[in-house]
Amino acid sequence: MRPRTLPTLALVLAAALAWSIWGPAPGTTRAQAEPPTAQAGDGALPADGEAVAYFAGGCFWCTEADFAKLPGVLDVRSGYMGGASANPTYAQVSRNDTGHREVVEVRYDPALVTYQQLLDAFWRLHDPSDAGGSFVDRGFSYTSAIYTVGEEQARLATASAAALDAAAKLPGPVATEITPAGPFWLAEAYHQDYGELNPIRYNFYRASSGRDRFIDRVWAGDTTVYAADTVDVPAWSRPIPSDAELRATLDPLAYRVVRQDATERAFSHPYDQLDDAGIYVDVISGEPLFSSLDKYDSGTGWPSFTRPIDPAYVVTRPDRKLFVVLTEARSRVGDAHLGHVFNDGPAPTGERWCINGVALRFVPVAEMEAEGYGAYLTAFEAAAR
């Protein structure tokens, strides 16, 4: 997770004041609150033709209020989803150890608003690239998620997330989890329609959280429909596997490198001495990272390159885990730890991108077209002339 801009002291003060400033309205206690009731996320449409969708976009007061403004949305309710326990309370969920998120249930008329339009609204009401929470609200219960109802919602949500990633619109890769909906547990009564019933407290919280400042900065004037058929999604693009899937499919060292920032031993990976023509792609996302045309033998024991194949697919950030500050390299879409960048490389860049071989997958020139990387063949054709 990239460092947040809000000072730590401000977070502490906000947490200390949170309950007194924007907790339940005076006179409302948890004992008096409406007990939660389960609603199955089984995809069944009500008899009157309504459809239902579930989204987690941080604080459900804000998510509820924003969805309620959309034409075609019939009702929005705040609740909890994702954990194993039944009838969770706000106090339990906010401890971030139940596996639940703050979620809104959106009931809508498909003839008036499409699921794709709900997705585009969802991206714009929070920061989908924040893997650690949402603005001042930190922890799992405030992280971004789309709980899909049926295969069509899953298809549209996955394609939309891929399109948004390909557009490089956000500060980092989309961190939104896309997973089938489970039981929806209605939140306590004082959470429902909170913005409407408690405008002073709600507006104070919202203004203080930084949500609207982010939305204005990132989304102002953007009317793009983030869908596979309206955004140029690369042919190589594929959904990002869950952490559980990565643990099951990657060898243990690769998982430790890409997800826990470990480093493979020098001279241990065959890519260090590989001279074949082709490109090196992210082992998680498949995004193109480096070309053999920019590879050289640095003598360090790790695959080394003078530059990325496309700067749009890599990000760098300070790494302070050691006694000196290094520059870490990560893939933008897959958010995989790749290695580090040093300023002791050869011309033309003077840079040495020192990369863990287990974080990469090599695609030979002969296979690039079939795997969706045909756009990068031009450089190899020019080098062969």
**Of 116, 91, 113, 111, nearest to 102 (Cα)?**
91
- Active-site residue, selected from the candidate residues 59, 231, 254, 341: 59
- Where helices occur in the chain by DSSP H, the ranges are 8-22, 60-68, 90-93, 115-124, 150-166, 194-197, 199-209, 211-219, 243-249, 252-260, 365-368, 377-384
- Active-site residue, selected from the candidate residues 341, 354, 359, 363: 354
Whole-Å CA distances, 220 to 98, 169, 211, 228: 36, 12, 13, 22
Is residue 354 annotated as part of the catalytic site, yes or no? yes
Residue type present at position 45: L
* Residue found by looking up tokens 């400033």 in the block: 21
* Residue found by looking up tokens 């939140």 in the block: 187
**Of 145, 163, 137, nearest to 57 (Cα)?**
145
52 beta partners: 107
Q: Residue 139: left if φ>0, alpha if ψ -120 to 50, beta else—which one? A: left
Is residue 62 annotated as part of the catalytic site, yes or no? no
Distance CA 273, CA 267 (A): 9
Burial state string for 152-169 with b = 16 or more CB within 10 A and e = fewer than 16: ebbebbbbbbbbbbbeeb
126 beta partners: none
> At how many degrees (to 10) do helices 150-166 and 115-124 cross?
40
Residue numbers annotated as active site: 59, 354
